Amino acid sequence: MASNFQISSIKKNHNLHLRLYGDFDVTSAQELINTLLTHGAGYCDIFIDTNNLEAIHPFGRDTLQMNLNNFKKQLNNLFFIGTNKHKIAPN
């Protein structure tokens, strides 16, 4: 995992807000997937804030997108927000 990558979470009004910080690589992508699968159930909506991402490595993005495609049914309430959403969100 990128040494400066962090995920902070805020639970608010039956929604989960995840804020990503630092560089996003393949192990960061796996950490995000694990967080979503472990803590994402039971929320109306899940928002992933990409404003504080610095470098987004292509293999990290591809790993995230591939895994999210595998879990579409469990994570159909997932929304990417922020200035880097177009660089990381599934197509």
- Contacts for 29 with CB less than 8 Å, ≥ 6 apart: 60, 61, 63, 64, 67
Q: Look up the CATH number of the domain holding residue 60.
A: 3.30.750.24
Q: Is residue 17 part of a domain?
A: yes
CA–CA gap between residue 2 and residue 28 (Å, rounded): 7
Tokens encoding 17:
């807000």
Boundaries of domain holding 58: 6-88
Q: What is the pLDDT along the chain (91 residues), one digit of tens a residue?
A: 557 999 999 999 899 999 999 999 999 999 999 999 888 888 889 999 999 999 999 999 999 999 888 777 777 789 999 999 999 987 6
- Contacts for 15 with CB less than 8 Å, ≥ 6 apart: 43, 44, 45, 46, 47
